[in-house]
Each structure stands twice: as structure tokens, then as C-alpha cells.
Structure 1
Amino acid sequence: MILITAFTLLHVLFYLRLAQGWRKIPVVEKSGNKISFSVIIPVRNEATNIQTILKNLESQHYPKELFEVIVIDDFSEDDTAQIVNQLIPSLNLNLRLVQLSDPTKQGKKHALTAGVKAAKYETILTTDADCWFGESWIRSYSDAFGKEVNMVAGPVAIEGRGIFARLQQVEFAGLIGFGAVTISEENPSMCSGANLGFKKAAFEEVGGYTDNLFTPSGDDEFLLFNIMRKFPHSTIFLQSKEAVVCTPAHSKLRSFVNQRTRWTSKWKYNKNWKVRISAILFFLDYLIFYGAIAGAILGIVDDVFITGIAIMRFLVLLFFVSPVNRFMGGRSSFFPLLLFQIIYPLHVLFMGMNSIFGSYTWKGRKYG
């Protein structure tokens, strides 16, 4: 009883703090800046998606002479590279294709490193081939980048139909909100490479991905930690609806599990002790919560007490996630979060164990 009460108190205070922190993040105002950008898109086997995102970039309300688009092909086994080459003369874009050639240097981080090296502009934007965004996406970044800003983390929304998609939507809204608050508090936890901007000089100064180049995941977070450590007070979260990048929800459970396992597996390589301890406490919190539910079912723990605990945890989660989800264009969070509250502890426990002992497949490559 004491243990579940203590962890629930920490849980409630944690989400109340996040909810308050989200409401304090300043909205990025329109500045009229006109910055030159290099937009980098690392790709592998994206033949079905690459044309859509390039059309998206062609439709940007931003001077075409002020940005270039670099697609880096990471040894695709489909027609991705051929499609890009075919589109270059037909699109009103300053578009280039860079292909990795050294088989000992493959993976997203090598692709991004090649893209940064090839970029002719100082300010880099990164996104993924399976994403889409509004016509003011680049302009929103021009508003955010000032002389003292070295990195800008943008919001990413999950879109799709059905309850499985809605569950992914509210989960990811919570993750993005968590990342936004911790960045704003100069105590970073996460960001998404699907919507990220940084100065090329800052990337080079911290050595890019040198200290984690062969870790499959974490291209976004490890770079975030390194830049914020090297250049304090120069990273912001882009609080602008025009900056929202959308990505599709997984339709199949296997692909979802593979992605989340890849994400959670990087905690082992994280040198930020606060993030490592937070991950362990997060795991223990849900382990104890499930243990308390099991105790109530077996009659060991008072079921009224556990019901009250569960309601309290749900309400504080709803208080935090709902405004974040609305900001990113999501629908009502109530029913997805209600179901989420029931199954998420099992999800956390499974992913935590799988990230340590399991394996996953990503872009046709298997990792242990």
C-alpha cells in the first residue's frame, strides 16, 4: 500500500508538472525572417512515399531560392533512387540525390551525416519520407531560428483511422509534450528527427553522431543532448501549429512493436543519467501499478483504494495529454486515453523487457 501510494503521488506530481510546463511554452511569433535551409530526407525503401513528401516541399510558401532538398538514399532495395532522379527535372525544387556507397557505413545516422556534409546552407531541417506537413512548415522554422538558436525541435502528430490509430495518436502526443516541456526547462528528454532543425556548425562542433554512430536509433535525441550540453540556452521547442509534421499510424501490430522496440532500446546507450533513471522509474511505476491491480483481484489489496488510484492516474494523464493532442489537430482524447490507461502498463512492461532481451526489424535490417 505504501509503495503504490508513493509511486502514484510521484506519477500525479509528474504529470501535473508536465501539464503546467506545456502551458508555459511560448508560442513562436512570426518574425519575417528569411533564412536559407537545407532540408535533409534520409530514405530507405520509400518508393511509395517519396513523391508525396517532395510534392509537399514543392508547395511550400517559401522562396524556392532559399532552400534546397537533399534526399540521401541508404542502400534502398526498391525504386526510391530512380523515382527521385525522375522527379528532379519535373519538380520546381532545388533537389539533389545523394547515395551512400560504403556498405560499412549504412543506417540513418550515416545518411544524415552525409546529408549534412553535402548541405550548402548553414541551417539544416530534417524530416522522414513518410511524413507530410502544411505549406508554411519551412516558414515556421524561419520564424524560430535566431542568432542565438542552435536547435529547434518541432511537433509530430500521428494520423490514422480506427481505435489502434487513436491509441498511437494520444501516446505520441504525450511523448511530444513530454519532450517539449523538458526542452523548455533545459532538461531534455526527447525530440523527433521527423521534425527537427539545427545549425550545421553546432552539429560539427559536437561531432555529429560520433559517439553513437552505430547505435540504430537515437539520431534525434543524442544530438539534442549533445547540442544542449555544448550550447546551453540555445534550443527551443517550436510551438506553432504551422510547424506540425504528420506521420501515419501503424496499421499492423508487428510494425508498431518493431518501431517502439527500436525507440526504447536506445535508453541503454544514453549517457544522460537523468534519462536512464527516469526510464527505470517509469518502468517500476507501471510494474507496481499492475502488481497492485493483481493484488486487488486476488483480494490482497483493497479494490476501492486501487480504483481510486486508477481514476486519479487517468485524470491527471488526461489533463496533460488533451491540450497537446488538440494543439496537433487530434480528436477527443477521453476514450482513447481511457483504454490507453488499461493497456499501457502492459505495453510499457513488454517494451521495456523487449528492448533488453528482444530483437526488431527496421527497414529490412534486423537488430538485436
Structure 2
Amino acid sequence: MAELFLYISLFLIWFMLFYHMFLMQGGYLHYLKHPDQKKEWDKNPGPMPTFSVLIPAHNEEMVIEKTLDSMVAMKYPKDKFEVIVINDNSSDNTGAICDSYAEKYPYIKVLHTKPPNGGKGKSGALNQGLKVSTGEVIAVYDADNTPEPEAAYNLAIGLNNDEKAGAVVGKFRVLNANKNLLTRLINVETLTFQWLAQAGRWFWFKMTTIPGTNFAIRRSILEELGGWDEKALSEDTELSFRVYNLGYHIRFFPAAITWEQEPENLKVWWKQRTRWARGNEYVIGKYLMEFSKLENKKIGLDLFYFMFTYILFFGGILISHTIFVTNLFVDLNLTIGIVSYVLLLTGFLLFVTEVLLALSMEKGQLTVKNFFVVLLMYFTYSQLWVILVVYATFLETKRVLFKQEVKWYKTQRFKQGETKEAVKAALTAEERRREGRVNK
């Protein structure tokens, strides 16, 4: 019996490894292709739509100023640009800081929310902001983000040049990547996710998951969908499925770049990632139950991907680990022998190869230091994810069984140092040329 379970777990693990190899090929092909797409769209960007940026902010005094500075620096026609900060029941100086920017810049507006409508979490804050926004296009940035000056422009031309795109998703980079080992591991994780899962799925299937930040969606779609699901902890993933169901695709356009702060200690990371895992499991459960009612069955591809990742793949790893540890103390009479070690080593080499390929697509990331970070990542960070998913599954199962209320965890922020060089660098000659055109 133990050997049967071991074979099942190996099948699940290797199925996902091969699928990731397939996705990474697509990600690399998109990496080669997208600069030409960007050049083509720059030649004919189309008329800039009215553009509303929503920034949900709950107790964000530590980071909100730099976020608003980046909005001021955004190279978008200011007569078509508005920034709405939803000061969501903050108890610190977030509201006062935002009000001071609103007094200086007429395109920055502040919406102060209080209970019972305020303080319910990100989805609720975004729905409140949507009500007072006016743009044809709605973009979302988290309060710890410093998007690059052309981010809004790039998101807009993505929608202008792709009528079938319900939303356009940009790329995010880790602002505090070099802070400590944890942030280095997160940096590797985010780059791999974007070039493997986001770019790969876009290239092969024209599907990309809306992230929590740095994306733009057509207002008409949001209004048709009724805004964000306030029961979802991963409101971004849940929204993606509903956009797919309307028959639109979600485009990954890495020319739109933002820099965001990541957790700098394990406690904050654990709480944030647990929310993500629980949120994605909520989406899996919701759309598995409603699958027969969905109009666009292509959603099944992404539903299968999320289900395999959070249930089958992690389940396979957990079974494999359990059998391995048990066999150290109790002879399970396994006959697979040396084959299991060969598969383990090969899987490790595939993991390292995929991650290094993703790092090679970002300037300055394929370094000797990051090579050793990747080696360490397999045995530490990746294994920690297995434990986290088990814990998140327990919490989500308990919530469903006992009909508990969903509680939103707001990620703790850390005091920022100087803004990333890439964010605050002087405009290049090409950017200056483009600025004269875009800001007209």
C-alpha cells in the first residue's frame, strides 16, 4: 500500500514538473516576443482613455507617501488621470498624509471610509472607490507600490490595442529584494511566478491571473460583474475567473512595471501567504461547485491549474515526504529503491533549471549569489510552502464547516529606505521623447 501511494505521489509531482517545463518554454518565448509588441504599440498607442487609479489604504503611513509620489510622477495626460486613495478606516496618519497630497494635486482624491461600510478589507475598499471613480479604465495599486512613470500608459495601450483583453496585467519587482535572505527568496519566487505561470499561461492559453496590484481593467466589465467579491481573500484570482467567464482574456504585458515591498520577516510572510492560499482555495471551491453553470468552459484550464497546485501537487509532496520519513524508522518494504533517488535528483535539477531561466530574463538577477539562493530555496522556502498550504487548508476547511466569517489580514509594512534606483532614475532619451508625446 505504501508503494502504491508513493507511485501516486511521484506521478502528481512529475506531472506538475513537466507542466511547469511547458509553461516556462511559453514564458521564454513571450519574453523574446513582447519587446516587438511594445514597439509596435508605441507607434500607434491610440487615444488615451480616462484612467482612474484606486489605492486601498489601511494604516499605510509608513509607505503611502512614496506611492503618491510615484502617482505624481506618472506620465499620463493629467486631464484624463485621477488617483483615488481609499483611506479605509485607518487609525494612523494615512488620511492626513493623503489629504495633504489632494490639496496640492487636483487629480488626487481621498475617500475616507468608516464602519459599517469601511474597514472590511481590500475588496470592500475597492468597491467603495469604484463608486466615486470616473475613468473608463480602472487600475489598482497597493499602498506599498511605486510604479514606474510609464506604467499607466503601458496598461492603457495594452487595452487600446487588444479589444479582447478585459484586463491587462503588468509586472512587479521586489523593492526590498536585498534586505535579507527572506526577501531574496521572495524575489526569486516572484520572478519565477511571473515568467513561468503568468507569461507561460498567457503565451499558450491567453490566460493570466489578475494580481493584487499593477493591473488595469475596463470599467464596463467591472460594472457588469458588480465589482469585487467581498467574501474572497484572494479578490484578484476570483475576479480573474469572472472576467474569463464573460469571454475576455487577460493579457500579461511586462512593459508596465511596479516595485513593491515584500515581508521582511517570517511572521508577516506566513500570515500574508496563508491569506493567499486560503483565498485561492476559496476560489477553487466556489468555481468547482459552479462549473456546470459557467458559460466559458475554458476556465477549467485555470481551475485545474489552481486545483493541481494547491491540492494535488502539494498533496503529492506531502505523501512523498511522509513515506520517506516513515521509512527511516519503519521498513515499509519499498521496492522502488534507487529509482526514487534518481527521480528526486532529476526533479531538483529541473527546479533549479526553471528558476535560473526565469532569473535570466531579468537584468542583473542571474548572479552567483542568486544561484546559491535558488539551491537553498528548494530545501527550505519551497518546503515551507508545503506546511503553509496544509495549515491554510485546515483553516479554510474549518471556516466552511463552521460557517465562520472571513477575516482580512492586512500585510504589515516596513519603513522604506531610498527608492529603487530603477524607479527614481533620470529619464532616458527615449523616455523624454515619449514624454513629449504622452503628456500632451
* In 1: Cα distance, 2:358 partner to 2:23 partner: 11
Query: What is the identity, as a one-letter code, of the residue corresponding to 2:244?
Result: M
Query: What is the identity, as a one-letter code, of the residue corresponding to 2:170?
Result: G
* In 1: Cα distance, 2:122 partner to 2:81 partner: 22
Residues 166-204 of structure 1 deviation map (CA, whole Å, 9 limit, x = unaligned): 111112223333133334444757331211110010011
- 1:320 maps to 2:354: yes
Residue 99 of structure 1 deviates from its aligned partner by: 1.6
DSSP-derived class of the 2:91 partner: coil
Aligned to 2:230: 213
- 1:72 maps to 2:89: no
Aligned to 1:248: 261
Residue 70 of structure 1 deviates from its aligned partner by: 0.6
Fraction of identical pairs, as percent: 23
Aligned to 2:252: 237
Aligned to 2:421: none
Query: What is the identity, as a one-letter code, of the residue corresponding to 2:257?
Result: V
Mapping of residues 120-135 of structure 1, within 5 Å: 120-135=134-149
Residue 84 of structure 1 deviates from its aligned partner by: 0.7
Query: Structure 1 residues 259 and 306, CA, compared in 2 at 3 Å: closer, same or farther?
Result: same
- 1:18 maps to 2:23: yes
Query: What is the identity, as a one-letter code, of the residue corresponding to 1:29?
Result: K
Mapping of residues 1-368 of structure 1, within 5 Å: 2-25=7-30, 26-27=33-34, 28-30=37-39, 31=41, 32-33=45-46, 34-91=48-105, 94-105=107-118, 106-146=120-160, 147-158=163-174, 159-161=176-178, 162-176=180-194, 177-186=196-205, 188=207, 190-209=209-228, 212-215=229-232, 217-232=233-248, 234-240=249-255, 243-270=256-283, 271-273=286-288, 274=304, 275-291=306-322, 293-294=324-325, 297=328, 305-329=339-363, 331-332=365-366, 333-358=370-395, 362-363=409-410
TM-score where L is the length of structure 2: 0.74
Residues 32-91 of structure 1 deviation map (CA, whole Å, 9 limit, x = unaligned): 333321111011000111110111111122222231111011101111011111122334
Query: What is the identity, as a one-letter code, of the residue corresponding to 1:311?
Result: L
Residues 244-268 of structure 1 deviation map (CA, whole Å, 9 limit, x = unaligned): 2221231111100000000001133
* In 2: Cα distance, 1:116 partner to 1:239 partner: 25
* In 1: Cα distance, 2:104 partner to 2:361 partner: 35
Contact 1:286 1:348 in 2 (8 A): no
Query: What is the identity, as a one-letter code, of the residue corresponding to 2:220?
Result: A
* In 2: Cα distance, 1:119 partner to 1:59 partner: 20
Query: Structure 1 residues 119 and 362, CA, compared in 2 at 3 Å: closer, same or farther?
Result: same
Query: What is the identity, as a one-letter code, of the residue corresponding to 1:236?
Result: R
Residue 6 of structure 1 deviates from its aligned partner by: 2.2
Query: What is the identity, as a one-letter code, of the residue corresponding to 1:21?
Result: G
Residue 224 of structure 1 deviates from its aligned partner by: 0.9
Residue 296 of structure 1 deviates from its aligned partner by: 7.0
Contact 1:314 1:337 in 2 (8 A): no
Q: How many residues align?
A: 358
Contact 1:44 1:76 in 2 (8 A): yes
* In 2: Cα distance, 1:60 partner to 1:110 partner: 26
What RMSD in Å do the two structures reach over aligned CA positions? Answer: 2.7
Contact 2:210 2:250 in 1 (8 A): no
Query: Structure 1 residues 335 and 364, CA, compared in 2 at 3 Å: closer, same or farther?
Result: closer
Query: Structure 1 residues 4 and 264, CA, compared in 2 at 3 Å: closer, same or farther?
Result: closer
Residues 139-162 of structure 1 deviation map (CA, whole Å, 9 limit, x = unaligned): 211221123322112222224222
Question: Which deviates more, 300-309 or 79-88?
Answer: 300-309
Contact 1:4 1:292 in 2 (8 A): no
Query: Structure 1 residues 187 and 306, CA, compared in 2 at 3 Å: closer, same or farther?
Result: farther
Query: Structure 1 residues 187 and 351, CA, compared in 2 at 3 Å: closer, same or farther?
Result: farther
Contact 1:155 1:328 in 2 (8 A): no
* In 1: Cα distance, 2:54 partner to 2:308 partner: 33
Larger Rg: 2
Query: What is the identity, as a one-letter code, of the residue corresponding to 2:242?
Result: N
Query: What is the identity, as a one-letter code, of the residue corresponding to 2:310?
Result: A
Contact 1:40 1:127 in 2 (8 A): yes
Contact 2:208 2:252 in 1 (8 A): no
Residue 205 of structure 1 deviates from its aligned partner by: 1.0
Query: What is the identity, as a one-letter code, of the residue corresponding to 2:185?
Result: L
* In 1: Cα distance, 2:350 partner to 2:54 partner: 38
Contact 1:151 1:199 in 2 (8 A): yes
Contact 1:191 1:221 in 2 (8 A): yes
Residue 324 of structure 1 deviates from its aligned partner by: 3.2
* In 2: Cα distance, 1:85 partner to 1:321 partner: 43
Contact 2:136 2:220 in 1 (8 A): yes
Higher helix share: 2
- The runs of 5 or more residues in structure 1 that have no matched partner are none
Contact 1:144 1:238 in 2 (8 A): yes
* In 2: Cα distance, 1:222 partner to 1:81 partner: 29
Contact 1:188 1:224 in 2 (8 A): no
